[in-house]
Copies of this chain bind each other. A is one copy, B any other.
Amino acid sequence: MAGFEGKMLEVNLSSGEVKKSVIDKGVLRRFIGGSGLGAKLMFDRIDPKIDGLSPQNELFILCGPISGTSLPGGARFAICAKSPLTNMFAESSCGGDFASELRSAGWDGIIVQGTSKKPVYLYIEDQKAEIKDASDLWGKNNHEVTQMLKERHGGRDARVLTIGQAGETQVRYAGIANGRSFAARCGMGAVMGSKKLKAIVVKGSGKTPLADPERFAEKRKVLIQKVKDNVATLVLGMLGTNAAVDVSAVTGDLPGKNWASGDNTAIAAKTGGPVLSGQQFLTGTESCFGCTVGCKRVNKITEGPFAGWAGPGPEYEGVVSLGSNLVIDDMAAIIKMNDMCNDFGLDVISAGSTIGMAMECMERGLLTTKDTGGIDLRWGNADAVVKIIPMIARREGFGATLAEGTKRAAQKIGKGASEYAIEVKGLEVPMHDPRAHHGLGLSYATSARGACHTNDPTYSIGTGIFDWPDLGLTPLLAAGVKESKVWGPVIKNSQDLGQIINAGVFCYMLGLVMNADDLTQLLASSSGFDYTFSELVECGERIWHMKRGVSNLMGITAADDTLPKRLLTPTTEGAAAGSKIDLELMLKEYYPARGLNPDGRPSKETLNRLGLSDLAAKLY
């Protein structure tokens, strides 16, 4: 069959060897693709004890059956490795145009092993793959390298993955760029940098294979129509993901001042959807490959210190992590800082969060300008952030401390600074406040990669995203998102669904219109496996436990399933004022539903039921 066949390009940068391998069909069916497959490959290939930045780590760039098809929201692919930030299983998802080209070249994924002695990039043209010298690219940032490689290899047709200076210096939260899209989280760019791999260029002359093109086309048509008709996807196209700022602010979901401020509506009013997408800043919109939504912003700045800048605009997460989180309400500065992070190759969530921690330390006297080399990291000081971003990316001065991520940086600062490091398992918390939605708190505490709101659709439950009665994810707003008691048993199902999405690899935004049948038909007709929805849900469950098991082997226990103290303390103002998360209660109900032992390992019973006896053998 054509379809998703698991054709992997294996590149060993230590030996210079390049070869082809094919994933076993049974593995493909059981782990779907994307980060599902990534978990399985990590389990099979990686010694859990290795350092994330060592040559023994491997970088898994993985498509799923949907990746690179011309489905709206179907451009995505996953990048997995042991994370240098969290020291456990990591996955990062990226949109853009790389997956479609990679699959057009006949590949479903790339595995990068070893470490090169000198900077290199990988050039792929259909079945040909070459390791090339990257001396002239090293030291440059994402925008420039992308431009250079596109010019060198045939313009628009060449699709490019790159790292910026932050990846080179192995900032623990460095990301990987695919043009204007980013696999930002968990430091995958640092892993790439540790291998001295500056970029990957791919050109394909074929097309993305589909097992049943007609059946797929039919469902695709349905989805395109739904996207056109749905008010939420329409608004997404009109205002971008930043539309969420407007509603997050009034529900108490929008964090501010390193999560200490509960009411951030004043900053939201200056940085929300209509501001970013108004004439002052917007010049156009863009989509990932094949998508009809157009949620990406293209911005310009015409006034103030950044006048003359034009380029890709921020997403919701960037606007908030660099905006209200730092008490910055200057939209132009936020646009500029966000682009700097993208260009240098820093995850905007982790960068904003780490800087926010430092600002709080400065306010509280735990840091002074002596420590920071004269940079005045006070709340709202965008100039200081503009100065510190390159220093982080280059690990210069105080930037080297912040390059370690909020958890390690706070430990270095000491004096109790860790209280202001808002992270779970070392991953900085995304910009949605669980005090406004307790289920999200449980999700953060137990997600496969640390604090994450895209590892399952919990954040969206109640707003119609992936709201599928057959999974028991019925809307729970009635029961109260600001109550803990209803969430325990629900999150398990939400996570199983999330694993399918990230294995597919689907865009979460498509959940606004997609239902269980759409998902099943699309995965079956693209992969070639005659999936039913219930089989997929079982795959989701299997994938979750494989990710968890890999992380258990790397040292994760029940004690790590927690939230920072600040998020367990109610705010005193804003729409979620007084709302206190009862994480203990939620975990108590979640653990048995999830099939976890009290020590945080998947139970033997669960693993055996899911056909993961190999994992059980290693865990027990």
Candidates B232, B247, B282, B467; contact of A239 at CB < 8 Å: B247
Q: Does A503 contact B (CB under 8 A)?
A: no
Candidates B266, B282, B477; contact of A250 at CB < 8 Å: B282
- The answer on a CB contact under 8 Å between B239 and A246 is yes
Q: Which residues of B contact A280 (CB under 8 A)?
A: 265-266, 269
- The answer on a CB contact under 8 Å between B274 and A230 is no
In the assembly, how many copies of this chain are there? 2
Q: Does A238 contact B (CB under 8 A)?
A: yes
Q: How far is the CA of A344 from the CA of B306 in the complex (A)?
A: 47
Q: Which residues of B contact A390 (CB under 8 A)?
A: none
Chain A 219-250 interface residues, beta-carbon cutoff 8 Å to B: 225, 228-232, 234-235, 238-239, 243, 245-247, 249-250
Q: How far is the CA of A280 from the CA of B266 in the complex (A)?
A: 6
Interface of A is mostly: helix
Q: What's the interface size class on A, roughly?
A: 35 or more
Q: Does A462 contact B (CB under 8 A)?
A: yes
- The answer on a CB contact under 8 Å between B251 and A475 is no
- The answer on a CB contact under 8 Å between B265 and A231 is no
Q: Does A277 contact B (CB under 8 A)?
A: yes
Binary contact track A463-505/B, C-beta < 8 Å → 1, others 0:
1100100000001011000000000000000000000000000
Q: How far is the CA of A239 from the CA of B269 in the complex (A)?
A: 12
Q: Does A273 contact B (CB under 8 A)?
A: yes
- The answer on a CB contact under 8 Å between A478 and B228 is yes
Q: Does A572 contact B (CB under 8 A)?
A: no
- The answer on a CB contact under 8 Å between B265 and A463 is no
Q: How far is the CA of A200 from the CA of B247 in the complex (A)?
A: 39
Q: Kindly report which residue of chain B lies nearest to residue A331, judged by CB atoms.
A: B269
User: Apart from A234-B477, A269-B280, A273-B274, what are 11 other A-B pairs with CB-CB below 8 Å?
Assistant: A228-B462, A228-B477, A229-B463, A229-B464, A231-B512, A232-B232, A249-B274, A249-B277, A250-B278, A265-B279, A269-B274
A interface residues with partner B (beta carbon < 8 Å): 225, 228-232, 234-235, 238-239, 243, 245-247, 249-251, 263, 265-266, 268-269, 272-275, 277-280, 282, 462-464, 467, 475, 477-478, 512, 574
The 7 closest A-B pairs by CB, nearest first: A265-B278, A272-B274, A265-B279, A246-B274, A269-B275, A269-B278, A229-B475
